[in-house]
Amino acid sequence: MTSDPSKPVLILNSSTLIILHELHRSDLLEKLRKKFKILIPSTVAEEMRHSTINLNHSLVIQVNVNTIPSEIQPYTIGLGYGELGALILAYRLRGKEKAIAITDDEKARKTCRKLNIKVRGTVGLIKIAYEHNIVSKEQAINLINKIRETSLYITDQIISQAIRQIEKEPIP
């Protein structure tokens, strides 16, 4: 797989797609595409098949979970199907492209860190949107605060920390 090396790659897991949908901000993906290559592993698309969320199928990339690289095999136990696909894709792109896995699953995030894969969650994705002038500071803070109203379990500490970081950053 090759792409424009100047465009970082965001590999999305279903949790992020669901939370953006619950926030009524699925439009952020199209806006992020101006500065990032967005990839949705086929395993995530399969998980989302029966949801009411409209996926842009041009973003879906085939990932074969039957051929797990041996280096990551020990870390895959307990991961869901979507997380596994995202992890495999992020691992394969690691070092070749500026890839960031976007997942809210704690086990998947820990696994990414063990494998030196850059990882962020939905809050991190909102911060990325702010850092790249896709949303304003006020919009980013409002979205992060509204995450409490979604199905994502997130601590007040994480939300407060993210808001403090955004408030301290200069306006892009």
Residues of the chain with pLDDT > 70: what percent?
94
CATH code, domain carrying 81: 3.40.50.1010
Give me the pLDDT at residue 126, please: 96
E-assigned strand segments in 14-112: 37-41, 60-61, 99-102
Q: Considering its fold, how many domains does the chain have in total?
A: 1
User: 0.85 cut: is pTM over it?
Assistant: yes
In a domain, 72, yes or no: yes
Residue 2 pLDDT exceeds 50:
no
- 139-158 burial string, b = 16+ CB within 10 Å, else e? ebbebbebbeebebebeeee
Please give the pLDDT value at position 1: 43
Quick one: DSSP state of residue 64? -
Question: With 90 as the cut, is the pLDDT of residue 64 above it?
Answer: no
110: number of CA atoms within 13 Å, CB side? 8
Contact 90, 117 (CB under 8 A): yes
Distance CA 88, CA 83 (A): 9
2, 126 Cβ separation under 8 angstroms:
no
pLDDT at 27 over 60: yes
Taken as a whole, the chain contains a residue count of 172
**pLDDT tens digits along 7-20:** 899 999 999 999 99
Alpha-carbon span 166 to 125, nearest angstrom = 12
- pLDDT-derived band at 166, boundaries 50, 70, 90: very high
Domain membership of residue 161 (yes or no) is no
Q: What percent of the chain has pLDDT over 90?
A: 65
Helix (H, G, I), strand (E, B) or coil at 119: strand
- Which residues have a Cβ under 8 Å from the Cβ of 85 and sit 6 or more positions away? 41, 42, 43, 44, 63, 65
What is the extent of the structural domain holding 104?
9-121
Is 149 a domain residue? no
Burial degree of 8 (CB within 10 A; 0-12, 13-18, 19+): middle
Whether 33 maps to a domain, the answer reads yes
In a domain, 107, yes or no: yes
